[in-house]
Amino acid sequence: MYEGIRSPAVHMPKTMSDLVSASTRFPNATFWAGGTFIMSRHDYYPTRDSNDIISLNEVPELKRINRTDRYLEIGATVSFEQLLTVGKQVLPGLLQMTLERSATKIVRKQITVGGAICTPQIRLTLPGTLSALQAEVEVKSCMGPKTETRWLEINRLYDKKGAFLLKKNDLVTRIRLGFEREDFSCHIAAGDPMTNPGETVMLSFACFHNQSVVDRFRMCITFPTSMFLIPHEVDMMMHGTMLPLTTQQIERVVRSIMEEVLSSSDHEIPPIQVERSRRFIESALHELNAQSLSER
């Protein structure tokens, strides 16, 4: 213990109501799930005024993976590794792929789903995939004696630049996914979002089609510190389109998305991110075509 450096008090609530109560009594406390992002910040330790810690790991509701008739519900403190091991039969392929590629097993045992969604300054790979799968999150707002609970689409947690929009005393408790499985999905990433965010691009894409007619076309492009883009216009543009796509259709989609990418940022986007985005989108569409042709 060191004079001049406060040792944060660690609160370990055992139930949801204890958690809400702790959050109200200690409004400046830091919610702690896996702690990987918090501990990875250079200035976290040592600091003079460390906030108290509310550890979320003892609350059973947050650790559960639940299957209802319509949804798969995942507690916020479920680790990536737990989710992969338990959910192998039920997880969408895109989500499995994203979880496996996001980190090694050693680190996956520590990263939690809630933590990966709620990182304040940087957007990692999971939110984009959950957005492509149209996942929803349960948010509890702890405002004194009143607690408000609501379900939100995951893309409402972030603005176009990827900034996290929830308030300090909002807590993500569960994530839910529908059981409808995408007909085609792909996840492409290049770069390391933690060490080289200025060059990193992550693309998650899920396409639902019915007898070669596109029904839903969900894509999410993430630049870790500057963009979280879901091109909604493309979804409308592609609805009802026959697969495989023609060269002109591919070019039109790429052009449309790239226009949105370039117009969504106030300052100049590094050329490598622009070029990678373009190539990722093209590659994803060519893969979609290849799959639709092979299914015939």
Partner 1 sequence: MKIECTIDGKHLLLTVNSNKPLNLILADELETPLLTIRCRDGSCGNCVVLLNDEAVLSCLIPAFRLKGARVLTFEGYQKTRFWHDLERAYEDTGSHPCPHCYASKTLIFESLLQMIVKSESGASRDEEPDEETIVREIGLNKCPCLDAHEMLDIFKAAATYRRRRRVRRY
Partner 2 sequence: MIHGIVIRANIDSGTLVGVTLPKQDKRFFILGPEDVAGPNSVEVHTENFPLFAGSEINYKGQPIVALFGPDAETVEVKSREIEIDFELTTEVQPFHPKHEHSPIKYHWGLLDQGFAQAATVLERTYTDRRVWTREDTMFQVTTWIDDGQLKVKVPTQWPFHVRDTVASICARTKKSVTVYPMAHFSTKDEKILQPSILAAIAALATVKSNSPVMLSSRFPTYKSPIIIMRKTALDAQGKPIAEEVDAQIDQGAFPLFTGELFKQVLAGLIPLYPLEAFSAQVRIVESHSPPSHFFGDLGYSSALFSSEAHASAIARQLQVNPSNWRMKHYGETKERAKILETPPVPRLRDLIGTTCTVSDFARHCAAYELQRRGKRPFSAFLNYTRGIGIACGAGISGFSTNSPYHSSSKISVTLDANDQVLVNSSFYPSRKITTLWRSVISKELSVDQQSVRFIDNDTSKMIDTGPEVLSLDIERSVMMIGECCKAIKAKRFQEPLPISETVSAKSIVSKEQALFSSKNWGCIILELEVNTITLVVEIRRVWGRFTFNNPPEIDRLRLKFRHIINESLNECNIMPIHREGAPPIMDIEVDSFGDEAYQTSATSALRAMVLAAASAALSQALNRDVSAMPITSEDIISYIRREE
Among 259, 286, 290, 295, binds partner 2 (CB under 8 A): 286
From 240, 6, 222, 268, select the one nearest 116 (Cα to Cα). 222
Q: With binding defined as CB under 8 A, does residue 53 bind partner 1? A: yes
Provide, rounded to whole angstroms, the least separation between the CB of residue 267 and partner 1: 25
Cα–Cα distance measured from residue 207 to residue 218, given in angstroms and rounded to the nearest whole number: 6
- The alpha carbon of residue 106 and the mean position of all alpha carbons in its chain are separated, in whole angstroms, by 20
3-class SS string, 275-293: HHHHHHHHHHHHHHHHHHH
From 91, 96, 97, 114, select the one nearest 34 (Cα to Cα). 114
Provide, rounded to whole angstroms, the least separation between the CB of residue 280 and partner 1: 21
Q: With binding defined as CB under 8 A, does residue 134 bind partner 1? A: no
Provide, rounded to whole angstroms, the least separation between the CB of residue 174 and partner 1: 23
Angle value at C-alpha 182, between 229 and 165, nearest 5 degrees: 30
Among 57, 138, 272, 291, binds partner 2 (CB under 8 A): 272
Identify which range of 3-11, 15-23, 106-114, 228-236 contacts partner 2 by CB under 8 A: 3-11
Q: With binding defined as CB under 8 A, does residue 187 bind partner 2? A: no
Among 36, 134, 283, 291, binds partner 2 (CB under 8 A): 283
Backbone angle region of 267, left / alpha / beta, with phi > 0 → left and psi within -120 to 50 → alpha:
beta
- Binding mask 217-256 toward partner 2 (x if CB under 8 A, else -) reads ----------------------------------------
Helix axis angle, 271-294 relative to 247-263, nearest 10°?
Answer: 150
Residues that bind partner 1 (CB under 8 A): 1-2, 5-10, 35-36, 39-42, 44-46, 50, 53, 55, 85, 104-107, 109-110, 192, 194-195
